[in-house]
Amino acid sequence: MTRGLKYDIPGRDWRIDPDQVLAQGWPGVFADAPGGSAPSPRPRSQRLVVEIGFGRGEFLVDQAERNPDTGFIGIELSHKRCLKMARRLARTELSNIRLLELRAERVVSELLTWKSVDCFWINFPDPWPKKRHALRRLLRADFVRDLALRLRPGGVVYVATDHPEYAGQIATVLSGDSLLSNGYAPMPYLPEVPGRLATSFEIEWRALDRDLHYFMYVRV
């Protein structure tokens, strides 16, 4: 017997849609305070961090708890995961996360302006391991250039994968973009990053002796 999804949100629903962003801009979206009080827009200099494909949400929540003055955007294509995350956030005091159930390419190209993002996190994107599906991978040269253009100078894109062949492709497209510089040079990536939160997936994969690959590239 399968367990049914619960659709009620036991508190504030932090999911948003593209029209809200286009109408209010990100400062307006993050100024929408809980409690029904009149929102006062936060300064445009507020840090903005984006996680693409937040999955179970452990990493996104941990980052938001550690950085309460930073605005976090969580992007997830799965309706089920986005709904579960909305329910989870509604049971917390966190108010600095906004969720978008949308393709990452659309969010980046249509909803994020140039030089507006401090950090992108892309943790373990789908490797699409079958050769005929490789073109579906997220980390392609055109998408990496879109990310780079939206980073502020000194902004960072972090990528992690457990798939060796995909790691090779990621290294190629990141190092091939002239707007980005390898923060782990001369190493193309690190096998682990001290102090980084290990998600449940990472703990499971390490137990299986999988090699993990962590990339850090900085906007020059």
For the stretch 128-144, pLDDT in tens is 888 777 788 999 999 99
**Whats the size of the chain, residue-wise?**
220
> Does the pLDDT value for residue 43 go beyond 50?
no
Q: What is the pLDDT of residues 165-218, one digit of tens each?
A: 999 999 999 999 999 999 999 999 999 999 999 888 888 888 888 899 999 999
Q: What is the pLDDT of residues 61-101, one digit of tens each?
A: 999 999 999 999 999 999 999 999 999 999 999 999 999 99
Q: What are phi and psi of 203, to 5 degrees?
A: -60, -40
Residues labelled catalytic:
126
Dihedral, CA atoms, 10, 46, 196, 126, nearest 10 degrees? 70
Q: Which two tokens stand for residue 30?
A: 């993050």
Query: Structurally, what CATH architecture does the domain formed by 44-219 represent?
Result: 3-Layer(aba) Sandwich (3.40)
Q: Which of 64, 180, 45, 179 is nearest to 116 (CA)?
A: 45
* Cα–Cα distance, 99 to 89 (Å, whole number): 10
pLDDT at 105 (0 to 100): 97
Q: How many CA atoms lie within 13 A of 130 on its CB side?
A: 2
pTM (global) more than 0.75: yes
Q: What is the pLDDT of residues 16-36, one digit of tens each?
A: 999 999 999 999 999 864 433
Residues of the chain above pLDDT 90, percent: 76
Question: Is the C-alpha dihedral spanning 144, 147, 149, 153 positive or negative?
Answer: negative
Q: Which two tokens stand for residue 144?
A: 């990496």
| Residue 190 host element (H or E) | none
Cis peptide before 129 (omega within 30 of 0): no
Domain boundaries, the chain: 44-219
Scan for tokens 């929408």, then name that residue: 32
End-to-end alpha carbon distance in the chain: 53
